[in-house]
Structure 1
Amino acid sequence: MQELLPGETSEPARGQAQDALSRLRLSGPSPVPFPVALALNVAGGLLLSLAFPPAELWPLAFVALIPLLWSLRGAGPARGAVLGLVFGVAFFGATLYWIFLFGALAWFALTALSATSIGLVGAVGPSLLRDGRSIRSAIAFASLWTAIDWIRGLFPLGGFTWGSIGISQVDDRPLLPLATVAGVWGITFVVVAVNVLLFQAVAGNPIAWVRRAGLAVVAIALVLVPIAMPFSEPNGGSLDVAVVQVDVRPPPNTSAVQEDLLVARKNITLHRSLAGSSPRPDLVLWGEGSLDPAASSDPATMASVQEAIAQVGAPTAVGAVMNDPDGRQRTSELVFGKDGSRVDRYDKVHLVPFGEYVPWRSRIDWISATRQIPVDRAPGTSLHTVGAPGLPPFGTPICYENSFPALPRAFVRDGATFLVVPVNNASYGFTAASDQHLQMSRMRAVETGRWVVDAAVSGVSAFIDTHGRVLARTGLFQPGILRAAIRTSTATTGYVRWGDWLPILALIVVGISFLAPRRRPHPHPPSGPLPASPRTLVVLPTFNERDTIERVIAGVLERPEHPDLIVVDDSSPDGTAELVRPIAAQDDRVRLLERPSRSGLASAYLDGFTMALREGYDLAVEMDSDLSHDPSELSRLLDAARQHDLTVGSRYVAGGSVTNWSRARVALSRGANAYARFMLGLPIHDATSGYRVYRRALLQELLRTPLSSSGYVFQIELVMRSDRGGFDVGEVPITFREREHGESKISRSIVAEALWMVTRWGLSARLGRGPAA
């Protein structure tokens, strides 16, 4: 092998490895048969639902995603989206079964909308799962799930958080402290990551048992390490709090007005039972909806409320629906002083769509179910704490608001020393809705480092400490007084301080993981050594190259490697073929292929490559016919071809250069190559160079399947397919000279095609449609 000139050593793109692949268009693991995949996802979704009430088998959450992960192997975006949607429908459909109380349409709409988030996970997730990269896959996929779950809590219509995986882990004592720093999102992230690690250990490509054990250890560590993190401990004084809970179920044939007044009287009567108690409670709480519109707008009823509060002599917070002077109706928390006078009020900011108002009412009024909500309530103007003389400030996220982590956090940042959650889940009867809601309050207690008191008009009422433990609770529709001492606090948790930093970071991780170039497959088996004097065919495509073709042919024929050449002419109007014809007639190393019309650069090279394979050539060379490629540099490319399956003459490696180009054009060319390198994960710096040498084995693989491009971008496609096929691609420096004769064939449309194709290939690979990554 000839020695290369100093500073011109060829640059191999990647080292060889022992693994071998037999095909260029590599594929990942074979997809699970579609009917089986559907069944797996139905089972997985139902399994995950068992982690939530009523079953509350929370450990199942750590394995429930494995069926989804298994079915996503080898899935493209469309298939993945369908499988994720099926998983989501099974999960949310079972978890939200209690929505059926409002009709099949309501249940189906909410289930389908919620399931689309997992459909999106299914569409994007396969592109983040990398064989052999278990930790990276776990981080990326868990980030994707966490980010999408967070977005689901924001959009549409203010979001919907029910079914967040992290909520299921409120009884997972080792993992739960993580919520003090990362919120429920941190718990979700860990649970999903553990699923991925366990899946990689049991269902991935065959790996050594040591690695399997290692993945299991990492999974266990993720769950156990947070146990070392402290829960927030309250630093304030004690308060004696009493919750009034009634049975709101009315007798048959009770009108809406009568029902409102009846519920109010029940609360008043039960509240009066606290009179004379010793010690007197520091605060009394009534549930949401204790004073519905007919009661809150009735002067006699409101007078009775204030008299009862004054009789007991304790500040009282009452859930009410108010018909305000501006003509709007609002869901409110009214705070009365111990003398019965009203001293504060909070109006619910985050209303329940299709529960407290109907979005787009004028457009969907034809749906009869919307008429069950006759009045659209108005939201409050701001989140703020409330208080009463003798009490520290506290927050009152009303019912649905407590399902959004950011809202209780906002109350605490506003100075809340404890949280009161007025609740009205009476419409859901004896279903698991109330227990699912209680889980959210438990998570909010841990996140904020505040005691939480759920004050439910008909259950479940509960006292929850900062560790998320339920210290006292009621059943459903069981009237009575629930009373306990709580602790106030001004301590600040990491979650209160930093908020939803984890899902935002997760979005960044997903973006980086998705945009990062795909990892190259294992190398193709080495093609073997070349003969001492390999047969070489130089392919010279021409269209109006009369001024340069003779010099190019002469330069090629002078090479000591004695290459043959073929001129592929596209009926050049300038008579290029007429010049080549006599040369080919006199020298059997020169051939001329005259094509009847202009068929393009890519097809010209493919015709030449086909001839090279048919006639047993060891090497095939691409080369321009306008002297932009110096024939004297061919020897260095042929020498490097002994080391690489594809050798590219590069302008942009050490020793390479461009002459007669403006700085702007050089910058544009470098930028285009950098973009292709990034999008496609290419191992070379000059993928657009047309001066290159292919070994026979590579050409045979490249020509097995048609190219998807026909313009100049085919140069990039051939490099991409060579690299993704595991072949060795290297570069040697060349000097590119701008043509002195004729006109460049590059046009804006060619540049646009190249940009589009590179973008499409890159996105296809990232979404799992291209060769395995």
Structure 2
Amino acid sequence: MIKLGQQKISKSIKYYTLSFISGIFMGTTVAPIGAWLLAWIALVPLWILIIKYTSKTDPPAPRPLPLALIWGIGYHGVALSWITGIHPMDWLGVPWLPSLTITLLCWAFISLWGGILVSVWAALMVRLDRGNPWLRVLIGTAIWCGLESLWSAGPLWWSSLAYTQSPQNLVILHLGQLSGPNAVTAVIVAFNGLIAEYLTHRRKGAKEERITIYSALSLFILAHLIGFILYSQPLTEGANTAIKIGVIQGNIPNKIKVLPEGLRRAITGYTEGYLNLTNQEVKAVLIPEAAIPIFSRDLSQTPFLAAIREKGVIAWIGAFGEQGSSYTNSLFTVLGNGAITGRYDKSKLVPLGEYIPFENILGGIIQRLSPLEAHQVPGKAKQIFDTPFGKVIIGICYESAFAENFRYQASMGGKFMLSSSNDAHYTAAMANQHHAQDIMRAIETDRWAVRATNTGYSAFINPHGQTLWKSAYNTYETHAETIYPRQTQTLYVRWGDWLTPLLLTLSAMAWFMAK
């Protein structure tokens, strides 16, 4: 009896270890490792364990919920480990020990939040199981896409399964032009499910064995073939629409950014960079998020605005806007005469970094841990940014993870993308992941993208997700490229994410028919 108990415990430990390791494998698909191929098999072990539990095999598998939670923590914990780069928060004046505490709590929470998504998925898989492998794959794919849609509608979102393929697998990312990131996610989940069903049936010697593996391979090939067709479409651009745009990567450490020394260095660096770029005959210049950390009303007194009035070239400036007694993190259009004519307010704020979630409950705790002030407020949803070049799609830093924001602006006539960011308080891995997110947004909307960051990676990206130029990291740089405004509308831009509701509807119909 004792021996059987020990065997059961040993078996459970093996299952939990397998689940955690496979989740870690999924986490290694993104920067800094970029093992993107692992995304096509990393969900297989968890799927097999769910089948094993629902099939009531002997010996039974552990309950799927903790297995799924561990898988999700492994995935999101590794993929989002760059969050630890915020420590030490000396750039915010936070003492070392409270900084470490906040950092570890943030890392634990976002890992757990991702784990909850996978746990809900596993719970619904078990609850809705009918013992049919094809129905299981359909339901599993639909639920995962539905949960990613739900999670991305909230304030805390970054690590869709789709971004495991960026920037390496540009071909499959072109499915995003059809139905957004969930089109890529759906193929990844369905392929993993079919492989898991194949491996399960092979052990049983079931007749479905060959059909499932053939279906998996067919799905993989067909998805990449469709992506390749979209990827191969020529970028026919008219020479008369060309716009030469410059970016400045200021490389101002966050520790001194809001101090007088940092402000002087920023104004000097961005003014010199602007003058250098205007000598290259650019039509506009983009600088990073909050590059000039003052209110817009004070910009007119700076040498930077004097240089703009002298040269007459448009600039998009990251600074602070006023909203009552609070402030916004904003991007402003400054015309050649120095007039500020356009404003976009960042609508997706970073929890703790830019606002305190559940402030009524957590505000006192956070204030005891650090001197963070929660006076920044988000901008309105569905903003339109007009410029002398027409409407433009704007993303400020964290917003790059929210595909719907970019889709809406493209549907309203946004002709190209401007991404203004400051990733200085994280690691190079985060900067690479951020670049990967903007690659996905450029592909989904079929737009040229211009990225200006404080410390890297600034870049120019074409509508096929190809990076034309990418800066070094932690360096001061200026660069100019020619881009082309576009007015095309992909299926995703026109219809949004139509695939997820379709999959959920088909799953519901198939489930009721199978009862």
The aligned counterpart of 2:27 is 49
Per the TM alignment, residue 509 of structure 1 is displaced from its structure 2 partner at its CA by 3.6
Which residue pairs with 1:191 in the alignment? 188
Is this contact kept in 1: 2:406–2:445, CA < 8 A? Answer: yes
C-alpha displacement of 1:148: 0.8
1:238-637 equivalences in 2 (<5 Å): 238-249=242-253, 256-275=259-278, 277-278=279-280, 280-293=281-294, 296=296, 298=298, 302-324=301-323, 326-368=324-366, 371-389=370-388, 391-428=389-426, 430-513=427-510, 515-516=511-512, 518=514
Q: Supply the distance in 1 between the matched residues of 2:220 and 2:12 (Cα, whole angstroms).
A: 32
Deviation, structure 1 residue 230: 2.3
- Match of 1:243, SS state, is strand
- Tell whether the 8 Å contact from 2:242 to 2:482 is kept in structure 1 after alignment: yes
Root-mean-square deviation (CA, aligned residues, Å) is: 2.7
Q: In the aligned structure 2, how far is the partner of 1:143 from the partner of 1:228?
A: 24
Q: Structure 1: give runs of 5+ residues left out of the alignment.
A: 1-29, 519-680, 682-773
Structure 2 counterpart of 1:608: none
The whole-number CA distance in structure 2 between the counterparts of 1:454 and 1:193 is 33
The CA deviation string for residues 47-101 of structure 1, in whole angstroms up to 9 with x for no partner, is 0011111111111100010111122123369922211110011111111112123
- For 2:344 and 2:227, locate their aligned partners in 1 and report how far apart those are by CA, in whole Å: 37
Question: Matches of 1:502 and 1:481 in 2, distance apart?
Answer: 41
CA distance in 1, matches of 2:258, 2:475: 22
Residues 139 and 504, structure 2, Cα contact 8 Å, conserved in 1: no
| 1:61 corresponds to which of 31, 36, 39 | 39
CA distance in 1: counterparts of 2:244 and 2:481, whole angstroms = 6
- Using a 3 Å threshold, how does the CA distance of structure 1 residues 163 and 444 change in structure 2: closer, same or farther? same
Q: CA deviation at 1:396?
A: 1.2
**What pairs up with 1:62-141 in 2 under 5 angstroms?**
62-75=40-53, 79-102=63-86, 103-127=103-127, 131=131, 133-141=132-140
CA deviations on 1:255-304 (whole Å, 9 max, x unpaired) are 745434433332223222234x24x10110001020213x756567x432
1:179 to 162, 176, 194: 176
Higher relative contact order (CA closer than 8 Å, sequence separation 6+): 2
Residues 392 and 413, structure 2, Cα contact 8 Å, conserved in 1: yes
Q: Which residue pairs with 1:145 in the alignment?
A: 144
CA shift for structure 1 position 181: 0.8
> Which stretch of the first structure deviates more once superposed, 212-221 or 198-207?
212-221
In 2, Cα distance between equivalents of 1:298 and 1:498: 42
Q: Is the 8 Å Cα contact of residues 244 and 270 (structure 1) preserved in structure 2?
A: yes
Partner residue of 2:158?
A: 162
Asked if 1 retains the 8 angstrom alpha-carbon contact of 2:286 and 2:315, the reply is: yes
Change (3 A) 1:321 1:383: same
Contact 2:328 2:346 in 1 (8 A): yes
C-alpha separation between the residues in 2 aligned to 1:421 and 1:201? Answer: 43
Match of 1:87, SS state, is: helix
Query: Counterpart of 1:217?
Result: 217
- Specify every segment of 5 or more residues in structure 2 that has no aligned partner in the other structure, as ranges: 1-7, 55-60, 87-102
Letter aligned with residue 502 of structure 2: L
Larger radius of gyration: 1
C-alpha displacement at 1:250, in angstroms? Answer: 6.5
TM-score, structure 1 normalization: 0.58
2:92 is matched with: none
Q: Where does residue 588 of structure 1 map in the other structure?
A: none
Q: In 2, distance between residues paired with 1:127 and 1:179?
A: 30
- Kindly tell me: are residues 378 and 145 of structure 1, through their superposed partners in 2, closer, same or farther at Cα, counting changes over 3 Å? same
Q: Which has the higher helix share?
A: 2
Q: 1:282 to 1:451 in 2, by over 3 A?
A: same
Check conservation: 1:151, 1:159, Cα contact below 8 A. Answer: no
Residues 267 and 303, structure 2, Cα contact 8 Å, conserved in 1: no
What's the secondary structure of 2:502's corresponding residue?
Answer: helix
User: Secondary structure of 1:453's partner?
Assistant: strand
- The worse-fitting range, judged by mean Cα deviation, of 492-501 and 95-104 is 95-104
Residue 563 of structure 1: aligned partner:
none
Query: Within 2, Cα distance between the matches of 1:151 and 1:234?
Result: 36
Instruction: Give the C-alpha shift of residue 377 in structure 1.
Output: 1.3
Q: Deviations over 1:394-453 (max 9, x none)?
A: 12121112211110111112211001011111110x331111111111111111111111
Question: How many angstroms apart in 2 are the aligned matches of 1:257 and 1:94?
Answer: 37
Judged with a 3 Å threshold, the aligned counterparts in structure 2 of structure 1 residues 449 and 123 are, in CA distance, closer, same or farther, namely: same
Q: Is the 8 A contact 2:12 2:62 kept in 1?
A: no
Letter in 1 for 2:185: T
> Is the Cα–Cα contact under 8 Å of residues 234 and 489 in structure 1 kept in the other structure?
no
Q: Deviations over 1:468-500 (max 9, x none)?
A: 111111122211112111111011100000002
Corresponding residue number in structure 2 for 1:36: 14
Q: Summarize the Cα distance change of 1:502–1:305 in structure 2 as closer, same or farther, 3 Å threshold.
A: same
Decide whether aligned partners of structure 1 residues 142 and 470 sit closer, same or farther in structure 2, where only a CA change above 3 A counts: same
Sort the Cα spacing of 1:41 and 1:240 in 2 relative to 1 into closer, same or farther, 3 A. Answer: same
TM-score, normalising length from structure 2? 0.86
Contact 1:387 1:394 in 2 (8 A): yes
- TM-aligned CA deviation for residue 351 of structure 1: 2.3
1:485 to 1:110, Cα distance in 2 relative to 1, 3 A: same
Match of 1:766 in 2: none
The C-alpha deviation readout for 1:110-159, integer Å capped at 9, x for no partner, is: 2111210011111112355665x4443322211111111111111xxx24
Report the AA paired with residue 52 of structure 1.
V
Listed one character per residue, the Cα deviations across residues 642-681 of structure 1 (whole Å, up to 9, x for unaligned) are xxxxxxxxxxxxxxxxxxxxxxxxxxxxxxxxxxxxxxx4
